[in-house]
């Protein structure tokens, strides 16, 4: 069995499963190999599963939220953060529109980062 056959079989294994989204990923990192397979009708849950699995297996010495943030920050892909996320973070820190950007930055530094929830 060659790689093409395996790839074809994996792709076909999602046919007729009744789900809109599916991932089947294999990661080899630091001498260890791990797999993750998931199907769902929720695109957000599918993405969350993939990114959380990858971050926790590619850099298990870092907390997963921190690893995801570092991966996104280091990525060449531009990420647009919806303004509502910044507002939620500011509100969670007791900040309002009358506070300065410096106050927002200090709050993020005190929290160890800008946490998106």
Q: 30-72 pLDDT, tens per residue?
A: 888 999 999 999 999 999 999 999 999 887 788 888 889 888 8
Q: What is the pLDDT of residue 88?
A: 92
Shared domain check, 107 and 57: no
Shared domain check, 58 and 13: yes
Shared domain check, 21 and 62: yes
Residue 61 to residue 19: CA distance in whole angstroms: 33
Residue 113 sits in which domain range? 80-117
Shared domain check, 69 and 54: yes
Residue 37 to residue 49: CA distance in whole angstroms: 9
Shared domain check, 69 and 18: yes
Shared domain check, 108 and 69: no
pLDDT bucket at 113, cuts 50 / 70 / 90: confident
Shared domain check, 22 and 71: yes
């Amino acid at each position: 069995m060659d790689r093409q056959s395996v790839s074809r079989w994996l792709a076909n294994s999602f046919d007729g499963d009744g789900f809109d989204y599916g991932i089947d990923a294999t990661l080899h990192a630091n001498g260890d190999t791990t797999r993750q397979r998931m199907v769902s009708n929720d695109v957000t849950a599918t993405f969350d599963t993939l990114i959380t699995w990858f971050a926790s297996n590619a850099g298990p010495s870092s907390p997963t939220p921190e690893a995801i943030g570092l991966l996104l920050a280091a990525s060449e892909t531009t990420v647009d953060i919806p303004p509502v996320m910044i507002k939620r973070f500011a509100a969670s820190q007791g900040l309002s529109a009358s506070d300065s950007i410096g106050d927002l930055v200090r709050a993020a530094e005190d929290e160890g980062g800008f946490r998106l929830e």
